[in-house]
């Protein structure tokens, strides 16, 4: 199998690795870097469990080849907490009961973060729409959407 050397910045750490050309970014992150927060659900771009943020945008990492991520900056759920302090979204997901089995949660958090980075004051309807690529079998979505809205309101009040 042909391979390529890639340089990537993941959670503020530089990695240089040789990757087979058919290895997905999800496999690379989980197997080569040992970051197992991104989950493998459908493997076909439908469930969002494998979501990571690549150059500021959420991507389904099962649908990106690792070599295509060369030169990019990636954030996985492991990089959300800073200095041992959970990101406000992580804390709110816990406090508001937006987590049940947790399988979808890393992807949900990263999609939510990318929404809040781009749209500081989304409505619940906008959040629901923008998160529809992330599937959850447990929560019925209402708590997740309300929690993201609550954090958006909290962050925009803190910034104003």
Minimum distance, C-beta of residue 144 to ligand FES, in the bound complex (Å): 8
Minimum distance, C-beta of residue 94 to ligand FES, in the bound complex (Å): 12
Chain residues binding ligand FES by CB under 6 A are 40-43, 45-50, 60, 62, 99-104, 136-139
Which of residues 72 and 134 has its CB atom nearest to ligand FES in the complex?
A: 134
CA 137/CA 10 separation, integer angstroms: 29
Question: Which residues, other chains included, contact 124 with Cβ-Cβ below 8 Å and sequence gap of 6+?
Answer: 145, 146, 149
3-10 and 73-75: which strand pairing? parallel
CA 80/CA 109 separation, integer angstroms: 9
Which of residues 38 and 82 has its CB atom nearest to ligand FES in the complex?
A: 38
Minimum distance, C-beta of residue 63 to ligand FES, in the bound complex (Å): 6
Pick from 68, 65, 80: which is nearest to 26 by CA? 65
Which of residues 7 and 38 has its CB atom nearest to ligand FES in the complex?
A: 38
Which of residues 18 and 57 has its CB atom nearest to ligand FES in the complex?
A: 57
For tokens 């089995």, name the residue: 101
Minimum distance, C-beta of residue 121 to ligand FES, in the bound complex (Å): 25
């Amino acid at each position: 199998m042909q391979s390529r050397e890639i340089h990537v910045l993941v959670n503020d750490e530089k990695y240089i690795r040789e990757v087979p050309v058919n290895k997905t970014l999800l496999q690379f992150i989980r197997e080569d870097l040992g970051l197992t927060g991104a989950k493998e659900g459908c493997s076909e771009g439908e469930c969002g469990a494998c979501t990571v943020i690549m150059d500021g945008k959420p991507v389904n990492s099962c649908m990106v080849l690792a070599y295509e991520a060369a030169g990019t900056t990636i954030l996985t759920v492991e990089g959300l907490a800073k200095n041992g302090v959970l990101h406000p979204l992580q804390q709110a997901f816990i406090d508001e009961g937006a987590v049940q089995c947790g399988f979808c949660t890393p992807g949900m958090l990263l999609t939510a973060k990318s929404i809040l980075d781009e749209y500081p004051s989304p409505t619940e309807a906008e959040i629901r729409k923008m998160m529809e690529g992330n599937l959850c079998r447990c929560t019925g979505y209402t708590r997740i959407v309300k929690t993201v809205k609550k954090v958006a309101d909290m962050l925009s009040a803190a910034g104003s």
